């Protein structure tokens, strides 16, 4: 290997234990970065010559000794509700502090854009998970939302979905019925506009009230533009309890009809009666993968979180209130304790708290582990960044997988854990040039201590930066170091086509 010309490198991270994201075993070596790309990956022997470069750069801050640390691709959060956070708090600390360098926003049918009309009354749930006031639903079309993100970049990258529930709320007067032809074509036009503006797909939340009345055919018709733009179809399915398999079938049908890859959001099994069904669900997915593209993400907790409702509370063994507009002081308290205090039954208590959000314990830990252990799973946080007392997954999903599940429980090797949050996700969402440490790829990187890394957030103390994340780079810029954001905002809005592999090798 030739010596590295010093003017061709901005940064050299050496002595690292490199886990490249593909699942292959770690190796000791160095990674060289020029501008926003990885331009060299060196094993231990090649690192020797790379260290000639190090000598030349010795007095510069641009050499990073990563002894004892793991360097991996930056993590990609497959499932977020960060649409507004990207603008309202572009530092993105809940994600940055876990080593996440890209988020997929607009999930569960809920996207911030487009919203061509103003909310006259309260924001329709579950859209209020993004913003209770309605002020942030200010983007009349998807293009103006994308433009706002470009005008004010965040610390990390994002890729965006347009939400079916948002479209329904924007277009339909009566949400309790199927869309008529005119409404379908209006929504389909908005989908085309969004995809042209840079959205990578459509999401649905057929489970939620404003989308429940939509037929499968309605979803198919509005998703038609996915085919031409090679977009993905992501879904929070109609039923994650007793009707799980039927809901999988409905999702597969949409994918086949519109010729788009299907992404099953937060695959889980809800309700005591259905515990243990995770293997059946995974088998069902596998049985259909021969004829179409299907993948799934998972958050590493046995409790879900969304808006507060009596139906959901009924199926949960414990409910924690995450926010309440009527009684903000109740955030963080158990529903049963609030009911006791107010001397009301749970249904009445929920009416008093409404609108509100909650955490519901209604999954089996062994189902969670079965899904997490699957070789194809992607890690998504599903964090709700605007909740007063959020589910701990917002600040801890990725580090919990690395620490608790991989290192402590030994559920899978660290190399597999990293793959679930990097290359698998980049491939499934068609984010080219991301998710691997490879020459020509973008320099989205995370450096962590493999002995220390873990989530710190908990149900009792949900807002807490993770342990062991030492450095994060986004598009070649260091955005996080030793527990602090560096104040750089180098995130991009990612599309499918924004990567041209100009470098095969710089040397």
What strands lie across the sheet with 356-361, from one edge to the other?
A: 303-307, 356-361, 318-324
- How many residues bind Zn ion (CB under 5 A)? The answer is 2
107 vs 475, beta carbon nearer Cu ion = 107
Q: How far is the CB of 340 from Cu ion (least distance, A)?
A: 30
18 versus 285: smaller Cβ distance to Zn ion? 285
Only segment of 16-24, 103-111, 385-393, 453-461 that touches Cu ion (CB under 5 A)? 103-111
DSSP 447-487: EE-TTT-B----SSS---PPBSEEEEEETTEEEEETTEE-S
Closer CB to Cu ion, 79 or 492, in the complex: 79
If contact means CB under 5 to 8 A according to the sort of partner, which of Zn ion, Cu ion, none does residue 407 touch? none
For residues 331 and 350, give the distance between their C-alpha atoms in angstroms, rounded to a whole number: 13
User: What are the φ and ψ backbone dihedral angles of 228, each rounded to 5 degrees?
Assistant: -65, -35
Answer yes or no whether residue 236 interacts with Zn ion by CB under 5 A.
yes
CA distance 377 to 57: 41
The CA R_g of the chain, rounded to the nearest whole Å, is 22
Minimum CB separation from Cu ion for residue 33, in Å?
Answer: 33
For Cu ion, give the closer residue by CB, 4 or 169. 169
CA 28 to chain centre: 29
Q: Is 237 in the site for Zn ion (CB under 5 A)?
A: no
Please list the alpha-helical segments (H only) found in 110-266: 142-151, 164-171, 181-197, 209-212, 216-223, 226-229, 244-258
Closest distance of CB 79 from Zn ion, Å: 7
Min dist CB 241 to Zn ion, Å, is 14
Site for Zn ion in 97-126 (CB under 5 A): 108
What is the nearest approach in angstroms of Cu ion to the Cβ of residue 263? 12
- The smaller minimum CB distance to Cu ion, of residues 107 and 229, is found at 107
By CB under 5 A, residue 53 contacts Cu ion: no
Q: Which residue, 17 or 107, has its beta carbon nearer to Cu ion?
A: 107
Of the candidates 264, 153, 168, the residue with the CA atom closest to the CA atom of residue 210: 168
Positions 350 through 409 that interact with Cu ion (CB under 5 A): 382
Q: Does 166 bind Cu ion (CB under 5 A)?
A: no
Based on the shown chain and the rule CB under 5 A, indicate whether residue 107 belongs to the binding site for Cu ion. Answer: yes
Q: Which of 30, 31, 50, 108 binds Cu ion (CB under 5 A)?
A: 108
Give whole-number Cα distances, 395 to 83, 373, 465, in Å. 16, 21, 6
Q: How, if at all, do strands 378-379 and 318-324 pair?
A: unpaired
State the virtual CA torsion across 431, 434, 439, 440 in degrees, nearest 10.
Answer: 50
Which residue's CB is nearer to Cu ion, number 19 or number 108?
108
Tokens (6 digits) for 67: 């002894």
C-alpha span between 32 and 57 (Å, rounded)? 12
Q: Which is nearer to Cu ion, 221 or 382 (CB)?
A: 382
CB of 304 to Cu ion, least distance (A): 9
Question: Contact between 77 and Cu ion (CB under 5 A)?
Answer: no
Angle at 378 between CA 399 and CA 243, to 5 degrees: 120
- Shortest Cβ 470–Zn ion spacing (Å): 32
Binding of Cu ion by 92 (CB under 5 A): no
Contact window for Zn ion (CB under 5 A) among 171-179, 212-220, 230-238, 342-350: 230-238
Q: Kindly give the interhelix angle for 164-171 and 181-197, rounded to the nearest 10 degrees.
A: 130
Question: 236 or 386: whose CB is closer to Zn ion?
Answer: 236
Task: Say how many residues touch Cu ion, by CB under 5 A.
Answer: 3
149 belongs to the binding site for Zn ion (CB under 5 A): no
475's contact among Cu ion, Zn ion, none, with CB below 5 to 8 A by partner kind, is none
Dihedral angle of Cα 405, 203, 20, 466, to the nearest 10 degrees: -40
CB of 384 to Cu ion, least distance (A): 8
- Residue 350: name its binding partner from Zn ion, Cu ion, none (Cβ under 5 to 8 Å by kind): none
Between the alpha carbon of residue 248 and those of residues 207, 234, 279, 423, 432, the distances in Å are: 13, 12, 13, 24, 27
Would you count residue 349 as binding Cu ion (CB under 5 A)?
Answer: no
Q: Does 15 bind Cu ion (CB under 5 A)?
A: no
CB of 67 to Zn ion, least distance (A): 41
Output the smallest distance, CB 265 to Zn ion, in A: 5
Quick one: which of 361, 362, 355, 363 has its CA closest to 308? 355
Report the nearest approach of Cu ion to the CB of residue 457 (Å): 17
Which residue in the shown chain puts its C-beta closest to Cu ion? 108
Q: Is 394 helix (H, G, I), strand (E, B) or coil?
A: helix
Instruction: Output the six-digit token pair for 154.
Output: 């965040």
Closer residue to Cu ion (CB): 149 or 394: 394
Could you tell me which stretch among 228-236, 327-335, 410-418, 485-493 binds Zn ion (CB under 5 A)? 228-236
Q: 189: closest CA among 127, 136, 254, 114?
A: 114
Q: Which of 186, 219, 188 is nearest to 203 (CA)?
A: 219
Contact positions vs Zn ion (CB under 5 A): 108, 236
Q: Which residues bind Cu ion (CB under 5 A)?
A: 107-108, 382
């Amino acid at each position: 290997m030739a010596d590295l010309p010093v003017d061709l490198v901005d940064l050299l991270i050496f002595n690292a234990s490199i886990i490249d994201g593909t699942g292959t075993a770690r190796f000791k070596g160095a990674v060289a970065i020029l501008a926003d790309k990885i331009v060299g990956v060196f094993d231990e022997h090649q690192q020797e010559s790379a260290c000639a470069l190090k000598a030349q750069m010795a007095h510069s801050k641009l050499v990073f000794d990563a002894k004892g640390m793991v360097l991996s691709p930056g993590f990609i959060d497959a499932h977020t509700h960060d649409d507004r956070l990207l603008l309202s708090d572009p530092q993105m600390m809940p994600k940055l502090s876990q080593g996440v360098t890209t988020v997929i926003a607009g999930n569960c049918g809920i996207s911030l854009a487009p919203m061509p009309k103003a909310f006259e009354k309260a924001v329709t749930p579950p859209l209020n998970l993004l913003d209770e006031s309605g002020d942030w639903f200010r983007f009349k079309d998807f293009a103006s939302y994308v433009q706002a993100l470009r005008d004010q970049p965040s610390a990390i990258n994002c890729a965006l979905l347009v939400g079916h529930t948002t479209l329904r709320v924007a277009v339909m007067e009566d949400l309790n019925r199927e869309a008529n032809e005119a409404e379908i074509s209006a929504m389909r036009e908005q989908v085309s506009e969004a995809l042209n503006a840079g959205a990578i797909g459509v999401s649905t939340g057929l489970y939620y009230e404003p989308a429940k009345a939509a037929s499968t055919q309605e979803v198919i018709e509005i998703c038609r533009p996915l085919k031409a733009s090679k977009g993905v179809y992501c879904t929070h399915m109609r039923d994650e309890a007793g009707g799980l398999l039927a809901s999988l079938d409905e999702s597969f049908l949409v994918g086949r009809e519109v010729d788009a890859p299907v992404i099953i959001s937060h695959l889980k099994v809800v309700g005591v009666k259905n515990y243990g069904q995770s293997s059946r669900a995974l088998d069902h997915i596998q049985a259909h993968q021969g004829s179409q593209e299907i993948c799934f993400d998972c958050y590493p907790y046995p409790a879900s979180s969304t808006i507060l409702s009596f139906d959901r509370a009924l199926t949960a063994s414990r409910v924690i209130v995450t926010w309440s507009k009527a009684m903000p002081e109740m955030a963080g308290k158990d529903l049963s304790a609030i009911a006791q205090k107010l001397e009301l039954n749970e249904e009445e208590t929920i009416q008093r708290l409404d609108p509100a959000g909650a955490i519901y314990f209604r999954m089996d830990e062994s189902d969670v582990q079965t899904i997490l252990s699957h070789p194809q799973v992607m890690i998504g946080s599903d964090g709700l960044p605007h909740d007063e007392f959020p589910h701990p997954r917002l600040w801890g999903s990725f580090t919990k997988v690395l620490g608790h599940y991989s290192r402590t429980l030994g559920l899978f090797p660290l190399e597999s854990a990293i793959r679930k949050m990097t290359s698998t996700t980049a491939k499934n969402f068609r984010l080219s040039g991301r998710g691997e440490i490879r020459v020509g790829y973008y320099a989205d990187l995370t450096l962590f201590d493999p002995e220390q890394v873990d989530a710190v957030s908990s149900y009792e103390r949900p807002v807490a930066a993770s342990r062991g994340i030492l450095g994060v780079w986004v598009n070649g810029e260091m955005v996080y170091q030793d527990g602090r954001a560096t104040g750089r905002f180098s995130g991009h809005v990612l599309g499918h086509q924004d990567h041209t592999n100009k470098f095969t090798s710089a040397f």
